Amino acid sequence: MAHSNGAAATATAAGDGETTPVPRPLAPAQKVALITGITGQDGSYLTELLLSKGYEVHGLIRRSSNFNTQRLDHIYHDPHAVPSSPRPLMQLHYADLTDSSSLRRVLDAVSPDEVYNLAAQSHVAVSFEVPDYTADVTATGALSLLEAVRLSRKPIRYYQAGSSEMFGSTPPPQSEDTPFHPRSPYAASKVAAHWYTVNYREAYGIFACNGVLFNHESPRRGENFVTRKITRAVGRIKLGLQTKVFLGNLSAARDWGFAGDYVEAMWLMLQQDQPADYVVATEESHTVEEFLQAAFGYAGLNWKDHVVIDKKYFRPAEVDSLKGDSTKARKVLKWKPKVGFQQLVEMMVDHDIELAKKEKVLVDAGYRDPKQQP
């Protein structure tokens, strides 16, 4: 459903706290998307995809004393820089999943055709440290957003980001019919969000889809996630900026894909005639040790010379093996991954070696302490 042209709408400019009228382009009509978690890895790739398809994209950001929009810097257009330029097709709005009034205000202002709920406290290990907050954002936040969608003045198609962590201790391969057995507060919160989405679809007829995405990585992955922690260390070790990297369970097996491929599956779900839930995965599984071998080996290093096991990185309840069965997504959505495991690893290592080279310039010039690891 494209947004009707010729009508005026309102949008909140992040930073002014006010809702001011902003005219929509008169023609042609565009689809309008709202993304929560737009500053994250998936949000940035999804934004790029939607903009390439002619969407007008709006994103929710939380107020922070530090800027956290680095993944969007290449997309963001400051209207003050070139006042006579057209209104930017990506705009950011202050809101929070824990503040339902802010969600309803932004939905009223933006009037989206599609909502992608990617926001969460998404670090599994951290969820054991902040379980209440994880549940508030990841589970109850999703419920608040669904309720705002239900009360919207127009029909909205809704995507809920699920996680393979929801399967937990259930043996692989895991598909849409596999029972959930979450093993962390994060995973349990994602299960709640999943069933809230199903309930709103069945109770209110909302076009709502769950995407149960298996692990997906990229050079934009946060540096405290194990894959990026590894490739970041490879780059710094290669450039002589560090010697060791501290990790936990190396035998955990995951189905790792490229985030840029996976956001296409999100979009495809909302283009179907009927809403449904889909597992998105490469259908290949690799251990953390195999990731280490691939990353260090590609850089000409031996991981055993640099990896130290630290018990503090072991989870209270471990998920041993995740491997997805994405038959439904491949058949119905005509989706399949384009980037393989080795290509993904090399992409991330190449990026982080270049990043380490820039970091070394600062270290050599005395602007940064080489002992200060990211």
Residues acting as catalytic residues: 163, 165, 186
Q: What distances in angstroms separate CA 261 from CA 18, 20, 66, 335, 339, one per listed residue?
A: 36, 36, 29, 9, 7
The pairing of strands 286-287 and 253-254 is antiparallel
CA-based torsion, 284, 287, 293, 298: positive or negative: positive
- Please tell me the number of Cα atoms within 13 Å of 121 on its side-chain side: 24
The closest of 353, 98, 68, 113 to 233, measured between CA atoms, is 353
**Is residue 20 helix, strand or coil?**
strand
The closest of 343, 337, 311 to 324, measured between CA atoms, is 337
**CA–CA gap between residue 18 and residue 11 (Å, rounded):** 9
If one counts every other C-beta atom within 10 angstroms of the C-beta of residue 22, the result is 15
Q: Exposure pattern of 342-369 as b/e (b: 16+ CB <10 Å)?
A: eebbbbbbebbbebbeebbeebeeeeee
| Count of residues in the chain | 374
**CA–CA gap between residue 219 and residue 154 (Å, rounded):** 37
- Those residues whose C-beta lies under 8 Å from the C-beta of residue 284, and which sit 6 or more positions away, are 255, 256, 323, 341
Q: What one-character DSSP code corresponds to residue 205?
A: -
The closest of 261, 277, 2 to 114, measured between CA atoms, is 2
Which two tokens mark 43?
């949000």
